[in-house]
């Protein structure tokens, strides 16, 4: 992709990540003012699902960039969007947590304690979110320099654990027999399976090139 297009693609990425939030904000505003049904029969559930699923979707899309880049080298420029998407995934997850604290728990510590004791899916969500914190904090070029590429890469593999915890959290919430989380689970499973396969392929190609050069 020519460099001059980058700002346009970035603008589209920002719009794609922020647009749905603006739409949710608009529905919340309408629900509070003119149209009480704007957020459906259960507004809290609508907002929680919207922000939780938004976070998970962005997390999985950001994970797809490395395999796409390896399979289709012409799309290598996509790597410039990985950090942006990862940070937006974290921002959506923070909004989701805020929704929980505000609309579900009403900022009541006893209610949160009770949830933690009775609803294991809250622990899975908390794990997914907590694992995103060090990733967001070390997403700067300065962190890569300070930690060193190898250590930074190791740390950033936590993103896979976070996505797995997010998917478990989702399965745990839906009623038995509901298959809504299946699509995103399959996508994540394919991405997880591709990782070692593509690394093996890259090593093999490297050995072949070295042998040919020798």
Which residues contribute to the site for ligand HEM (CB under 6 A)?
45, 48-49, 52-53, 55-56, 59, 93, 96-97, 100, 104, 122, 125-126, 128-129, 166, 169-170, 173-174
Considering the complex, state which of residue 55 and residue 194 has its C-beta at the smaller distance from ligand HEM: 55
In the complex, the smallest distance separating the C-beta of residue 31 from ligand HEM, rounded to whole angstroms, is 18
Considering the complex, state which of residue 6 and residue 116 has its C-beta at the smaller distance from ligand HEM: 116
Q: How far is CA 24 from CA 54, 88, 100, 200, in A?
A: 11, 16, 16, 43
- Residue 124 CA neighbour count, 13 Å, CB half: 17
- Report long-range pairs for 16-25 (Cβ below 8 Å, ≥24 apart): 17/58, 17/84, 17/85, 17/88, 17/92, 20/50, 20/54, 21/54, 21/92, 21/95, 24/50, 24/51
> What is the residue-wise DSSP string for 87-134?
HHHHHHHHHHHHHIIIIISTT-HHHHHHHHHH-HHHHHHHHHHHHHHH
Considering the complex, state which of residue 6 and residue 178 has its C-beta at the smaller distance from ligand HEM: 178
Residues 156 and 82: beta-carbon distance below 8 Å:
no
Considering the complex, state which of residue 62 and residue 81 has its C-beta at the smaller distance from ligand HEM: 62
Residues 135 and 90: beta-carbon distance below 8 Å:
yes
In the complex, the smallest distance separating the C-beta of residue 148 from ligand HEM, rounded to whole angstroms, is 28
In the complex, the smallest distance separating the C-beta of residue 65 from ligand HEM, rounded to whole angstroms, is 17
In the complex, the smallest distance separating the C-beta of residue 155 from ligand HEM, rounded to whole angstroms, is 18
In the complex, the smallest distance separating the C-beta of residue 176 from ligand HEM, rounded to whole angstroms, is 13
In the complex, the smallest distance separating the C-beta of residue 180 from ligand HEM, rounded to whole angstroms, is 6
Considering the complex, state which of residue 52 and residue 86 has its C-beta at the smaller distance from ligand HEM: 52
Considering the complex, state which of residue 81 and residue 170 has its C-beta at the smaller distance from ligand HEM: 170
């Amino acid at each position: 992709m020519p460099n001059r297009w980058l700002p346009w693609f970035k603008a589209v990425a920002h719009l794609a990540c922020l647009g749905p939030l603006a739409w949710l904000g608009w529905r919340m505003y309408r629900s509070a003012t003119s149209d009480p049904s704007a957020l459906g029969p259960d507004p809290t559930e609508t907002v929680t699902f919207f922000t939780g699923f938004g976070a998970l979707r962005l997390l999985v899309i950001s994970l797809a960039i490395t395999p796409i880049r390896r399979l289709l080298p012409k799309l290598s420029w996509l790597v410039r969007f990985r950090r942006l998407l990862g940070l937006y995934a974290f921002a959506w997850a923070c909004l989701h947590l805020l929704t929980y604290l505000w609309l579900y728990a009403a900022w009541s510590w006893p209610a949160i304690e009770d949830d933690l004791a009775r609803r294991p899916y809250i622990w899975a969500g908390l794990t997914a979110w907590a694992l995103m914190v060090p990733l967001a904090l070390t997403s700067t070029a300065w962190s890569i320099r300070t930690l060193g590429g190898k250590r930074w890469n190791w740390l950033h593999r936590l993103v896979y654990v976070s996505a797995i915890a997010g998917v478990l959290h989702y399965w745990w919430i839906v009623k038995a027999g509901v298959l809504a989380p299946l699509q995103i689970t399959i996508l994540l499973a394919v991405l997880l399976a591709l990782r070692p396969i593509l690394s093996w392929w890259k090593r093999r190609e490297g050995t072949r090139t070295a042998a040919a050069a020798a």
